[in-house]
Amino acid sequence: MIGIAWKSICNRWPTALLAMLAIAMSVALILTVEKIRRDARSSFTQTVSGTDLIVGARSGAVQLLLYSVFRIGNATNNISWESVEDISNRKAVDWVIPISLGDSHAGFRVLGTNHDYFTRYLYGNKQSLAFSQGQVFNDLFDAVIGSEVAAQLGYTIGDDMVVAHGTGSIGLVKHEKAPFKVSGILKPTGTPVDRAVHVSLEGIEAMHVDWRNGATVKGEGTPAEAIREMDLKPRAVTALLVGLKSRGTVFREQRAINNYRAEPLLAILPGVALQELWNLVSVAEKALLIVSICVVVAGLVNLISVLLAGLNERRREMAVLRSSGARPLHVFLLLCIESTVLTIGGILAGLLLHYVLTSLGSIYIQERFGLSINLSLPDVTDLKILVTIAIAGLLAGTLPALQAYRKSLSDGLVQRL
C-alpha cells in the first residue's frame, strides 16, 4: 500500500507539492515563532545577571528596571553621592556600580559609570563584557560604545563624538565644547549595552561644568585642561547595581535600603522585576503563537481540500483498485497513507525552511533588535509540536478516506453524462 500511495503522489506531483509547501510554511512559521519567543524570553530575563540588587529613587520596580537596565524612561529622582558611599560601605556589600543617565548621542543613551562596570556587569549565562576593539576609558573625555552604536554610526577607535543633553533622537542642546573620543568598542551582547555610550562619571560632570539648569552659561567656556584640574566628584547618580558577598543576605539588605532614612530609596531584585515586566509584555508573545497556530490549521485545511478535490478525479482509479481485489479498507488506508506522507514531507521541508530562516534572520535580528537567536536542535516543545502536526495530518486524511471508503464499485465504473 505504501508503494501504491507513493506512485499515486508522484503521478499527481503538482498538487501534492502545493499541499506539502503549505504544510512546510506552516511548520516553519510555528517553529520560528516558538524559537524567537523562547530566545526572546531567555535574552530578556538574562539581560543582567550576577547583580543582586538594583537601587534607585523610590518609584516602582518596573520603572526602576526600565531606566536602569533597558535605558527606557527617566528616573523620578537621583541618588546622592553620600548615599552611594553609605551603601558601598555596608558590610554585606561586595561591589557597587553607579549609573548616571540623562544625556544621549544620536538617539543612543549615554551612561556614566566606573571601571567596575566592565568587569562586574554580567549578562546571559554569567558572561562578562568584552572588547572587540580598543580599551576601557582612561581619559576624562574617553567613551566606550556598544556594538550597535558603532555599526549604525560607523564609529571607529579615535573618532570624536558630541553628546547632547536629553534623550531625544535629535539633540537640541549639545555639549560641543566637551567632545568625547571613542576609546573602545564592545562585542555584541544582545542586551541594551549594545545601544549605549559609556563614559566615566567624571566625564558626565566635566561636560556639565559650564551648565546651569540644563543650559550653557553665556560667556563661559572653560578649557578642557582647566576642567581636568577640577574636582569632578559626582554629586548624584541615577541608579546603583549592587553585588553582595552572600546571596543569603539579599532580602535583609533590600529591606534595609528600602527603609533608608537619609532619602527615599527603592531596592529591587532584578530577576523578580524582569519576570514582572515580562508578564506585562507577554500579550504580544501569545498573539504570535495564536497566529502561527492559525497558519498551521490553514495548511491542514489546504491538505484536506487537495485530497477532496483529487478524489473526484480518482473515482475510476478507486474503482479499478476495487475491481482488482482491493477492499474498502485498502482504499481507506491508501488515502490515509498519502495524507501522512504529504504531512511528514511537509514537516521535513518545514524544518529545513525553519533553519534557513533562523540562520539568515539571526544576524538581522541581532543588529536591529539586539536579540540573540541561536541555531539548536528541536527541543521537547518543538518535537511535541511536530508530532501534533503529524497526527493532525493523518486525521485530515480520514475525511476524504471515509468518502472513498463509502463509494461503491459501480460509482466509479458508471460513466456520468
The DSSP code sequence of 353-377 is HHHHHHHHHHHHHHHHH--------
Question: pLDDT tens for residues 237-283?
Answer: 999 999 999 989 999 999 999 999 999 999 999 988 888 887 777 77
If you count them, how many residues does the chain have?
Answer: 417
Q: Are residues 329 and 185 in the same domain?
A: no
Lowest mean pLDDT among 33-37, 68-72, 261-265: 33-37
Is residue 275 included in any domain, yes or no? Answer: no
374 burial via Cβ count (<10 Å: 0-12, 13-18, 19+): exposed
Is residue 207 included in any domain, yes or no? Answer: yes
* pLDDT of 230: 85
Count H helices, E strands: the chain?
A: 15, 17
Q: Are residues 99 and 232 in the same domain?
A: yes
Q: Are residues 68 and 40 in the same domain?
A: no
Is residue 277 included in any domain, yes or no? Answer: no
Q: Are residues 248 and 114 in the same domain?
A: yes
Q: Are residues 180 and 250 in the same domain?
A: yes
**How many structural domains does the chain have?**
2
Is residue 244 included in any domain, yes or no? Answer: yes
Is residue 372 included in any domain, yes or no? Answer: yes
Q: Are residues 40 and 57 in the same domain?
A: no
Q: Are residues 320 and 249 in the same domain?
A: no
pLDDT at 169 over 70: no
pLDDT at 368 over 80: no
Higher pLDDT among residues 152 and 400, named by residue = 152
What domain range is 110 assigned to? 53-268
Query: Is this model's pTM higher than 0.85 or not?
Result: no
Q: Are residues 260 and 289 in the same domain?
A: no
* pLDDT of 177: 66
Q: Are residues 40 and 58 in the same domain?
A: no
Question: pLDDT tens for residues 117-159?
Answer: 999 999 877 889 999 999 999 999 999 999 989 989 999 999 9
Q: Are residues 35 and 117 in the same domain?
A: no
CA-CA distance, 67 to 75, in Å (whole number)?
A: 7
